[in-house]
Amino acid sequence: MDENILFAFALTLFAGLSTGIGSLLAFFTKRTNTKFLSIALGFSAGVMIYVSLVEIFVKAKDALVSEIGMTNGYWATICGFFGGMLLIALIDHAIPAIGNPHEVKSVEDVDAGPSSEEFQKLRKMGMFTALAIAIHNFPEGIATFTSALQDPALGVAIAIAVAIHNIPEGIAVAIPIFYATGNRKQAFKLSFFSGLSEPIGALAAFLILMPFLNGIVFGIVFAAVAGIMVFISLDELLPAAQKYDEAHLSIYGMMAGMAVMAVSLVLII
């Protein structure tokens, strides 16, 4: 069990610190590979949607049904699923657009620079942007950790999907901080360390949930994880992928993500 916990923490750390890759892309590449970005984001969405609805939701329902019966278990699963959606929606709503890491940006935006009206706002909110991404990534850390703890192979797939979607978030965080400070190194550091909120979320799950982790708690948390990941996919990943879409590449990427996840689940059984 100790090895599983360490492995789950390692996966969460990997997923969270992928924001640093986005920061590096923002400062050390000349142009965004839009085709690859569209496919990658679509792939990540496909993995998250498929595994949430086919695997995680079902495991949550089975756990709750076995604990509190068919009808109550199904209702608890539904409440947990939409409760997870509501949680991540409220977090998104609380983050102003100017500091919202889901406002898609490309590496070309580093050179474009802000308008004169935007500069003062960005300067005031530079540090807040790092806080915003940290707050948003916290429940993602819980989702990755609990999934990996329950099923390590499933955790790997989720961690990879989260890492892919954290890369453009890293770009989105680094750019306004760079505008606010004029310092590329500081922008990279703040963006990189903002990803630490995911392993912190895992630590919170370990300290708070683990002592009470029975069938009911597990089922509700897992249902909420499914809701969080479906919301992220529909609200963030697919719209971001379609911004750079060419010839339905994002949809093909999503289909590929679903297919890879489906085959992986069959091979795991």
Report domain extents, the chain: 44-106+124-268
pLDDT of residue 70: 92
Kindly report the pTM of this predicted structure: 0.67
From the annotation, which residues make up the binding site for Zn(2+)? 140, 165, 169
In the chain, % of residues over pLDDT 70: 72
Residue 193: Cβ-neighbour burial (10 angstroms; 0-12, 13-18, 19+): middle
Interval 126-150: pLDDT, tens = 556 566 667 767 777 887 888 788 7
Interval 200-209: pLDDT, tens = 888 888 888 7
Model confidence at 73, in pLDDT bands (50, 70, 90)? very high
From the annotation, which residues make up the binding site? 137, 140, 165-166, 169, 198
From the annotation, which residues make up the binding site for Fe(2+)? 137, 140, 166, 169, 198
Kindly tell me if the per-residue pLDDT of 151 is higher than 90: no
- Here the tokens at position 129 are 């942007």
pLDDT of residue 29: 56
User: Greater confidence, 173 or 249?
Assistant: 249
